[in-house]
């Protein structure tokens, strides 16, 4: 796939939080067109992306081989970000296998897998830190890069590893949603003095676009991105400085959390 030619990218997960900025970045200058898989072509997010131009919609489920073949066929790139948080580890594992295999069969030239840290492995296989949403992706990313050692000349592949979105620290219903305690914005999370590798959603689009722009350099790469490894004491201090409102971080033991 030439990085200088207009290419069609098949995208799974394009209507998700990360997928929207990825699609926007791909079609921003019309160098790429996107074929977007969605379960509901009439959803507000699907309609919003369609309105960008250079976006077409394929309605169906990634858990359907006929739909996958239709999605990959005629494209030369793919960005696959299966929502394992909703589908579960077993479903993501199987369809990550089949998505990669069918992509090769259908002639995809460059394949990018949306990934998260293999938390269980990075913890030294301590199941207190097991997170299915993360581990389901992390295992598959390692498998894809292993397969790429043999298949890289037929279909290039890269892994895009992100982390918790920085937007989540002030959003409702997330693991790190703050509360108000005696008028003070308060984050209570079990971090101790640890830090979180937060990533900004708009940055995700930029980095995925870079992978497709530079397939020769990106082939076989695990592109791990983050704003920084951020302590929540620093987060609270930054919030207070910018808003003028008092803020604090209170370390909380895991059981209480």
Residue 1 has pLDDT above 80, yes or no: no
Band the pLDDT of 84: cuts 50, 70, 90. Answer: confident
Q: Around Cβ 229, how many Cβ atoms within 10 Å?
A: 12
For residues 2-16, average pLDDT: 80
Confidence of residue 6 (pLDDT cuts 50, 70, 90): low
Contact by Cβ (8 Å): 62, 95:
yes
- In this structure, what token pair is assigned to residue 227? 């704003």
User: Each residue of 173-193: pLDDT tens digit?
Assistant: 999 999 999 999 999 999 998
pTM for the model stands at: 0.93
Alpha-carbon gap, residue 98 to 186, rounded angstroms: 44
What confidence tens digit (pLDDT) does each residue in 13-32 have? 999 999 999 999 999 999 99
With tokens 């209507």, the residue in question is 15
pLDDT mean across residues, the chain: 94
Contact 58, 29 (CB under 8 A): no
Q: Which distant-in-sequence residues (6+ apart) come within 8 Å of 209 by Cβ?
A: 22, 25, 26, 28
């Amino acid at each position: 796939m030439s990085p200088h030619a207009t290419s069609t990218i098949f995208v799974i997960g394009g209507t998700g939080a990360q997928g929207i900025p990825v699609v926007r970045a791909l079609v921003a200058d019309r160098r790429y067109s996107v074929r977007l898989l969605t379960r509901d072509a009439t959803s507000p997010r699907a309609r919003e992306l369609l309105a960008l131009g250079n976006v077409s919609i394929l309605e169906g489920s990634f858990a359907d081989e006929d739909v996958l073949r239709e999605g990959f066929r005629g494209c030369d790139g793919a960005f696959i970000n299966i929502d394992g948080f909703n589908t579960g580890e077993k479903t993501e594992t199987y369809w990550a296998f089949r998505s990669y295999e069918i992509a090769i069969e259908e002639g995809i030239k460059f394949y990018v897998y949306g990934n998260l840290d293999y938390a269980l492995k990075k913890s030294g296989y301590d199941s207190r830190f097991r997170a299915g949403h993360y581990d389901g992706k992390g295992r598959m990313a390692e498998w894809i890069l292993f397969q790429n050692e043999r298949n890289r000349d037929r279909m290039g592949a890269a892994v895009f590893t992100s982390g918790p979105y920085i937007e989540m620290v002030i959003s409702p219903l997330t693991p790190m949603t703050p509360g108000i305690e005696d008028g003070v914005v308060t984050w209570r999370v079990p971090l101790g003095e640890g830090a979180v590798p937060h990533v900004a959603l708009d940055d995700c689009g930029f980095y995925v676009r870079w992978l497709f722009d530079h397939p020769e350099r990106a082939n076989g790469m695990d592109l791990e991105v983050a704003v920084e490894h951020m302590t929540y004491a620093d987060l609270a201090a930054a919030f207070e400085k910018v808003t003028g409102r008092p803020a604090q971080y209170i370390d909380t033991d895991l059981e209480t959390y």
